[in-house]
């Protein structure tokens, strides 16, 4: 019997988390092998590893505790990757050499995996005098463009693109340019942007007062605070960025505010971190812990939840010692504070099983109660670890107990910490769990509401036929198993039908007992008025949230996956298009048709020849393989590598046009070349242009720049009808949705944020 409750769960495991040889041969034969690999790796730091391995395995079994993807994919593999998800880099010096030292550190971090955050507020504004060189500064945004180009070039560990967060203080002189930067669809594609909003600014907004924009003690401009706030709101309303981070509240509520200052977060915002701060993540699957679901007396047993939390805390603490770190400063920071981020997933499903409507006052109260229980248990578990292994090195009992979330913690927990210390400075966080939630049987993601109760996923088979798989929410499937065809009750609500302020209520209820932060998206209807939209952010501020991320579908941001109401109580997703996703790579037919192109790079003695062969599936022509050849032996290794990698991608199907974008984005630090009146940044970019030309000629994409994964104007792919929404760059299905601050695919788990 498979442990997977749905085909999509097993496919996610196979694609994302299953350990394989470089040639694709599976090492993990079953998901039990994956659990065993993780449990063994995290038990190696224990004095009795065999004993703890069994306990860790039991926590992982049946998807009860879900380590974050980097741990699940990387633990026990002997690969040079980090098991930490989140990094904030060092403070950027306001000097050319310092800036590029930071760029190098970011590249090294992305190479091992993990999303990174940067505060660009420390770079002097555009037009400021640069002493000693008789020049004006180009400003932080120009350097953000350099970071963006670097990120597009570095492939993150596990075949994930690097994800980055850029923050800027609301009083920086370039804040208005920062707010509007991503209104250019071609700019800063690898960044999420958030404004660091201070208490003083919010007070000025409410008082309709003036606001000074300054740097290094010099006032550059004075604006009206409410005008600047409206500019942030308007950009977010129209373009879904920037987000808002209430930075003073984050620092006030930080358990370590006596020894660190935070000015940035990781890409999804759930981890505010100091310079070189790092955090690892994991989630308790609440949906797996409900007893008597959909019956009188349904609940989560206190003892079962406590036992699982204690084991999760110990496993996560061990990751600090078992993980690699890209930089020594990150290792030192992690081991000095031993930060972990334990959160939850499946919250909405658990509430449904107990008969509670997500967004209601009753659901918010139950959420707060669960979060408090988890926080109490996590802190007490960390105290027990401190007794056994010692407190975190920077622990100072009096200062720690007088800071942040510790001020509201229960007296018995505070006394235990005072007497014995605590192993981990911070313990709780609610992270994006889109992929691991699919892997766990399509439980609701994080603390988000259910997005769609069921949808049809079309899978292209090797013979060109298509099969349909129904992907059903975990709680809905349980309802069907228990109740048969009985209609879903009224309390089954989804992300689209909830009022935005109900989202805020749930975020606020969870935040009270989370000592880091929360990754959550507040879905807003397209027709929400601008004034009502602004009220969402003001409500988040008034109700104690540490930040706010919204998503309002429109012509610029793209529509979310459409939801049709086949039954008033059972919303299902309507894909509205053929999804070209292959369950297995296509076999090569005996003969294929194709074209060969000659590419002559200026100043190169030998031309490069690019052959692209196509396959016809269901009457549609699509690329199947590429051969890149050159007589220049210096080109041999990378042309063979490109041939193999691009061909492997093409044979997987889906919207493979992202290959063009990736190649065209590569720049050569030695310089590019002018070709046919255009500047081409590298020979690889030129090859990308040739492939793009071919895809246009066979009708796979509509034209230059169309069909690319980050092109907001791309609405048509070669196969299938015009979809509603964007195509996933990984599997080609039209299920991209904004979840927990990230554009995430509901079909394959791909996430923009890694």
- The full length of the chain comes to 754
H/E stretch holding 287 reads none
Six-digit token string for 611: 């052959």
Which candidate in 86, 170, 268, 728 is catalytic? Answer: 268
Q: Is 458 helix (H, G, I), strand (E, B) or coil?
A: strand
Six-digit token string for 143: 């350097």
H/E stretch holding 736 reads strand 736-739
3-state secondary structure 213-262: EEECCEEEEEEEHHHHHHHHHHHHHHHCCCEEEEHHHHHHCCCCCCCCCC
Active site residue 324: no
H/E stretch holding 115 reads strand 115-119
Q: Please tell me the distance from the alpha carbon of residue 87 to that of residue 276, in angstroms, as a whole number.
A: 7
Q: Is 670 helix (H, G, I), strand (E, B) or coil?
A: coil
Q: Are 232 and 244 in contact (CB under 8 A)?
A: yes
Six-digit token string for 555: 């012509």
Of the candidates 672, 628, 625, 632, the one whose C-alpha atom is nearest the C-alpha of residue 653 is 625
Q: Using the 8-state DSSP alphabet, how is residue 337 labeled?
A: H
Active site residue 268: yes
Name 630's bridge partners.
608
Which candidate in 105, 241, 260, 270 is catalytic? Answer: 270
Six-digit token string for 610: 């690019």
Q: Are 738 and 730 in contact (CB under 8 A)?
A: no
Q: Please tell me the distance from the alpha carbon of residue 180 to that of residue 173, in angstroms, as a whole number.
A: 14
H/E stretch holding 102 reads helix 96-112
Q: Please tell me the distance from the alpha carbon of residue 708 to that of residue 659, in angstroms, as a whole number.
A: 8
Which candidate in 251, 254, 255, 266 is catalytic? Answer: 266
Q: Please tell me the distance from the alpha carbon of residue 449 to that of residue 356, in angstroms, as a whole number.
A: 12
Question: Please, which residues have CB within 8 angstroms of residue 645's CB and are 6 or more apart in sequence?
Answer: none
Distances, alpha carbon 651 to alpha carbons 182, 462, 581, 644, in Å: 34, 10, 10, 11
Six-digit token string for 306: 């406590």
Pairing mode of beta strands 278-285, 243-246: unpaired
Active site residue 405: no
Percentage helix, strand, coil for the chain under 3-state DSSP, each rounded to 5: 40, 20, 40
221: left (phi over 0), alpha (psi -120 to 50) or beta: beta
Q: Please tell me the distance from the alpha carbon of residue 615 to that of residue 594, in angstroms, as a whole number.
A: 9
3-state secondary structure 54-101: HHHHHHHHHHCEEECHHHHHHCCCCCCCECCCEEECCCCCCCHHHHHH
Query: How far, rounded to the nearest angstrom, does the alpha carbon of residue 336 sit from its chain's CA centroid?
Result: 26
What is the dihedral angle through the alpha carbons of 170, 175, 179, 182, rounded to the nearest 10 degrees? -140
Query: How far, rounded to the nearest angstrom, does the alpha carbon of residue 743 sit from its chain's CA centroid?
Result: 8
Chain position carrying tokens 């979809």: 723
Pairing mode of beta strands 272-273, 563-564: unpaired
Helices (H), 433-520: 434-439, 474-483, 500-511
Any idea which residues carry the catalytic annotation?
266, 268, 270
């Amino acid at each position: 019997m498979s442990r997977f409750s749905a085909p999509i769960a097993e496919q996610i495991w196979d694609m994302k988390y299953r350990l394989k040889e470089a040639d694709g041969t599976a090492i993990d034969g079953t998901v039990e092998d994956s659990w065993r690999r993780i449990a063994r790796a995290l038990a190696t730091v224990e004095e009795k590893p065999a004993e703890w391995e069994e306990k860790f395995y039991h926590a992982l079994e049946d998807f009860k505790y879900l380590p974050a993807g980097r741990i699940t994919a990387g633990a026990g593999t002997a690969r040079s990757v980090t098991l930490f998800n989140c990094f904030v880099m060092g403070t950027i010096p306001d000097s050319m050499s310092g800036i590029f030292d930071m760029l190098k550190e970011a590249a090294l971090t992305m190479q091992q995996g993990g999303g990174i955050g940067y505060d660009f507020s420390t770079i002097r504004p555009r037009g400021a005098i640069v002493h000693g060189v008789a020049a004006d500064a180009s400003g932080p945004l120009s350097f953000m463009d350099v970071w963006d180009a670097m990120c597009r070039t570095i492939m993150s560990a596990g075949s994930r693109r690097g994800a980055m967060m850029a923050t800027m203080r609301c009083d920086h002189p370039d804040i208005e340019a920062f707010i509007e930067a991503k209104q250019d669809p071609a700019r800063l594609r690898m960044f999420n942007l958030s404004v660091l909003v201070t208490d003083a600014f919010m007070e000025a907004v409410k008082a309709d007062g003036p606001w000074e924009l300054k740097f290094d003690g010099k006032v550059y401009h004075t604006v009206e605070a409410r005008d600047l706030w409206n500019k942030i709101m308007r950009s977010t309303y129209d373009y879904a960025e920037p987000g808002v981070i209430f930075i003073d509240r984050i620092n006030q509520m930080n358990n370590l505010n006596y020894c660190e200052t935070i000015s940035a977060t990781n890409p999804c915002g759930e981890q505010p971190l100091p310079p070189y701060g790092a955090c690892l993540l994991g989630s308790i699957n609440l949906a797996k812990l409900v007893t008597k679901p959909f019956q009188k007396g349904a609940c989560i047993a206190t003892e079962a939840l406590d036992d699982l939390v204690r084991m999760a805390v110990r496993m996560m603490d061990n990751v600090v010692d078992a993980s690699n770190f890209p930089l020594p400063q990150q290792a030192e920071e992690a081991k000095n504070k031993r930060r972990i981020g334990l959160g939850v997933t499946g919250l909405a499903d658990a509430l449904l099983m107990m008969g509670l409507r997500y967004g209601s006052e009753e659901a918010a109260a139950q959420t707060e109660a669960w979060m408090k229980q988890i926080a109490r248990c996590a802190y007490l578990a960390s105290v027990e670890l401190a007794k056994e292994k010692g407190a975190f090195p920077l622990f100072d009992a009096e200062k720690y107990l007088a800071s942040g979330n510790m001020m509201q913690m229960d007296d018995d927990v505070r006394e235990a910490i005072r007497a014995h210390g605590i192993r981990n400075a911070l313990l709780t966080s609610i992270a994006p769990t889109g992929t691991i939630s699919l892997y766990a049987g399509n439980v609701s993601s994080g603390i988000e509401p259910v997005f769609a109760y069921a949808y049809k996923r079309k899978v292209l088979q090797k013979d060109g036929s298509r099969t349909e798989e129904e992907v059903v929410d975990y709680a809905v499937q349980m309802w069907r198993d228990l109740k048969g065809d009985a209609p879903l009750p009224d309390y089954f609500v989804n992300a689209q039908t909830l009022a935005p302020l109900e989202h805020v209520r749930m975020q606020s209820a969870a935040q009270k007992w989370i000592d880091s932060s929360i990754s959550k998206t507040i879905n807003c209807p397209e027709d929400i008025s601008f004034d009502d939209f602004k009220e969402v952010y003001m409500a988040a501020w008034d109700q104690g949230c540490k930040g706010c991320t919204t998503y309002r579908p429109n012509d610029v941001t793209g529509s979310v996956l459409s939801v049709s109401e086949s039954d008033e109580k059972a919303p299902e997703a309507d894909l509205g298009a053929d999804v070209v996703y292959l369950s297995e790579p296509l076999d090569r037919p005996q003969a294929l048709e194709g074209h060969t192109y000659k590419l002559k790079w200026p100043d190169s003695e030998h031309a490069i020849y690019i052959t692209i062969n196509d396959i016809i599936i269901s009457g549609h022509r699509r690329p199947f393989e590429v051969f890149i050849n050159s007589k220049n032996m210096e080109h041999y290794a990378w042309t063979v590598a490109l041939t193999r990698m691009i061909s492997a991608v093409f044979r997987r199907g889906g919207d493979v046009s992202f290959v063009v974008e990736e190649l065209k984005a590569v720049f050569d630090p030695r310089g590019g070349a002018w070709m046919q009146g255009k500047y081409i940044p590298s020979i690889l970019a030129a090859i990308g242009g040739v492939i793009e030309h071919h895809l246009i000629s066979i009708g796979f994409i509509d034209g230059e720049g169309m069909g690319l994964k980050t092109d907001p104007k791309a609405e048509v792919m070669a196969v299938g009808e015009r979809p509603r929404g964007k195509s996933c760059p990984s599997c080609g299905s039209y299920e991209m949705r904004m979840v927990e601050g990230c554009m995430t695919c509901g079909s394959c788990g791909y996430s923009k944020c890694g």
